[in-house]
Structure 1
Amino acid sequence: MGHAIHWAKDLSEARDKAGLFVYDLVLLDIDLPDGNGIDYLREMMKWPVPVIIWAGSEQDGIEGLNAGAADYLVKPFIFGALFARIHAVGRRHEKFPEPYCVGRLYINEAERCCERDGQRVYLTRCEWTVTTCLRRRPGAVVSKATIEEELSSLGSEIESNTVEVYISRLRKKIGRDRIATVRGVGYSFVPESDTAPVDLVREVRSIVNYFLKKPWFTGRIILDDDGCPPLVRKFEDVLAVSVALHCLIENALTHGLPDTPATVSLRANGTIAIVNGGPVVPLPDPDELEERHRRRTEADSGFDLSLANQAIKDVKGSLEFASPAPGREDGFETIIRIPQ
């Protein structure tokens, strides 16, 4: 079915893997050689991952649901039922993107169905993996290293041009304008025509919500867009802001004070300010940022200020820095400005 799977033979191994990887869904047999799966299920409830349990009886299944499981199957069961439960739970917990149906293209990851111009398009397991990786965050940019990691989890051999090969194949199958390349950063799934305008306000809200869903960033961002009307901008401009905002929010949360939320403020003129608390630091030099970006390689996957600066500069915008942040005695502020 194209899913990447890690198998653990007992509770001890399961705990080890849980500390090393982030999973979209867990299948848990409650009859384990070194403990009770229900007890482990209660441990897992502190992580935002849905669990389907394999129960020995209906009563065990009910106990699992009461302990926090998303669903259960009573053994023995057929694999068709298992796949159906995986897809149902995945949809409820937003592990699969919503089906895409715009114009000539239809994509449904949960059902592994793709159509173009009414004709079925067959994607390989790796092509589905790349598609889902891009579509989990439509309009956002996914780094090459992230896609390589997803492909590696399937057991695929990764070479220097593996991602480019799959991107090229996908463009031939679903349309060249459906996948955009962001130079030096990665790739983005384009939800609509690459010439269609996009609401900047909706995109900023989506990015902030993406960070708030990460357990280690929960409660650490405040979005201030009160009274801001819809801001319709060119797709290229909004994509550049998306790249820069991911870099700048991650920078603010990483270097800011853990007990002081970072603030993302969006104003009616399209300017966006990102402010975090923390020590006063030397201001970045724009020429140095540009040189740092120029030296980057495709293998670089980390988001940093040089990527943010280059992304905004590519659409003839600018970044402005201040430390201490205006109105404070500490902290760091970045302002994104793009043409109206």
Structure 2
Amino acid sequence: MRILVVEDEPLMAALLSRGLHAEGYAVDIADNGIDAITLSKDTSYDLAILDVMLPGMSGFELCRRLREQTHGIAILLLTARDAVDDRVRGLDAGADDYLTKPFMFAELAARLRALRRRDAIGATRIDIGGVRIDMTRHEITCDGKELRLSRTEFDLLRLLAENMGRVLPRTEMLESLWGSSAHINANILDQYVSYVRKKLDTVGAPLRIVNSRGIGFQLAADKI
């Protein structure tokens, strides 16, 4: 997932960039609305985080312009303001969500995951770091190279991709993929994770399945 962060405070921009990279996002930074619009014309973004108090062009106006020119982007506004009319103004400008400073990064990450889950309803494709998962055709490609997976392997990678940035518990994965966690040997999950890891490596996919010991698995993207 590629995300555009528009923040004119260098320290805040750096903190956001570092945290979002750790969550598996590819991040571009702009410190004003004009540069943000220029970036969005050349790059397809899945998400945008906009500070409301920007020099020259406000985050409200930038939100409106991005909404007009960019199809399918999810927009979250960041601001020190907490007045109701500002929140309404942001939503009216086309924002999908609104977070008031100061905030915990964990809350921001959770808000972004919620936006992604919302967009995934009815979605037919997931794109992560050059890897495309086509749910309609049940095909996976990495930079144009086809990744041949069995149906269970496909469903495993799709499940992890849909929950990017979250550690999926083993029981949840077993129930989702095999319909039960009580009557299935848990080792089968490890076997399929191993299969998918090897196949991702064969096409040089910038994705890793990370084992959270004693809990489950998480999909992570290499920094881009």
Greater relative contact order (Cα < 8 A, sep 6+): 2
Q: TM-score, normalised by structure 2?
A: 0.49
Larger Rg: 1
